[in-house]
Structure 1
Amino acid sequence: MLINELSKKTGLSIHTIRYYENLGMIKGLTDEKVKSNNYKHYDSNAVERLEIIIEAREVGFSLAEIKKILTTWFESTESKPETLELFEAKIKEIDDKMRYFKQTKKLLEKVCEKLKSEER
């Protein structure tokens, strides 16, 4: 499929797909027989990689972390320990953020209550 089809299938803009390709996260293939254009063709592997990228971005992975996930998932023979370690680190990071946000929320609630009591 061409990049516009890939864009429609994944919901990502062509610009974003090209950006991920420039980072080496996906790869399009050009037909060596055709010299009149630089059209790249993408297969189901590109769709799968982009879906992983989308999901990983949604849960807070950085692009560097996602690139590592893709490498260990698709190219490494012993990917489970590395991937598991990366996921466990992300879970810890999320837990730390949740604690921070809960503390921040409590502090803001106290300030709001104080402001409300001063209005009366």
Structure 2
Amino acid sequence: MLINELSKKTGLSIHTIRYYENLGMIKGLTDENVKSNNYKHYDGNTIERLEIIMEAREVGFSLAEIKKILTSWFESTESKPETLELFQAKIKEIDNKMRYFKQTKNLLEKICDKIQNDDL
């Protein structure tokens, strides 16, 4: 499939897809027999990779971390313990953020209470 179809199937912009390709996270192939254009073709594997990228971005992984995940998933160059360590570190990071946001929420609720009771 061409990049415009890939964009429609994934919901990502063509610019974003090209950005991920420039980072080496996905790869399009050109047809060696066609010399008149420079169109790249993408397969189903690319959709799977883009879905992993989108989900990983959604939970807070950096692009560098996602690149490691993709390498581990598709190229098996990373060992399972290294991949597990990456996921465990992200879980710890999320736990820390949750504690911070809970503290921030509690502080804001106290301020709201003071405002409502005219204590400010």
**Is TM (by shorter chain) over 0.5?**
yes
Secondary structure (helix, strand or coil) at the match of 2:117 reads helix
Match of 1:91 in 2: 91
Write the distance in 2 (CA, Å) between the matches of 1:55 and 1:78.
20
Write the distance in 2 (CA, Å) between the matches of 1:82 and 1:75.
14
Structure 1 residue 55 displacement after superposition:
0.6
Secondary structure (helix, strand or coil) at the match of 1:86 reads helix
Write the distance in 1 (CA, Å) between the matches of 2:52 and 2:107.
37
Structure 1 pair 67–77 and aligned structure 2 pair: CA distance change class (3 A): closer
Match of 2:80 in 1: 80
Tell me the TM-score normalized by structure 1: 0.94
Secondary structure (helix, strand or coil) at the match of 2:69 reads helix
Secondary structure (helix, strand or coil) at the match of 1:67 reads helix
Match of 1:24 in 2: 24
| Alignment check: 8 A CA contact 1:73 1:83 kept | no
> Structure 2: which amino acid aligns with 1:3?
I
| Alignment check: 8 A CA contact 1:73 1:79 kept | no
> Structure 2: which amino acid aligns with 1:48?
E
Tell me the TM-score normalized by structure 2: 0.94
**Cα shift readout 1:41-66 (whole Å, capped 9, x = no counterpart):** 00111111001001101111111110
CA RMSD of aligned residues (A): 1.5
- Unaligned 5+ residue runs, structure 1? none
Q: Which residues of 2 match residues 59-78 of structure 1 at below 5 A?
A: 59-78=59-78
Could you list the runs of 4 or more consecutive aligned residues of structure 1 that deviate by over 4 angstroms after TM superposition?
none
Structure 1 residue 77 displacement after superposition:
4.9
What percentage of residue pairs aligned between the two structures are identical? 87
Match of 1:43 in 2: 43
Aligned length in residues = 120
Structure 1 residue 103 displacement after superposition:
0.3
Matched, 1:109 2:103: no
**Cα shift readout 1:51-100 (whole Å, capped 9, x = no counterpart):** 10011011111111101110111112554222211111111000000000
| Alignment check: 8 A CA contact 1:69 1:83 kept | yes
| Alignment check: 8 A CA contact 1:6 1:42 kept | yes
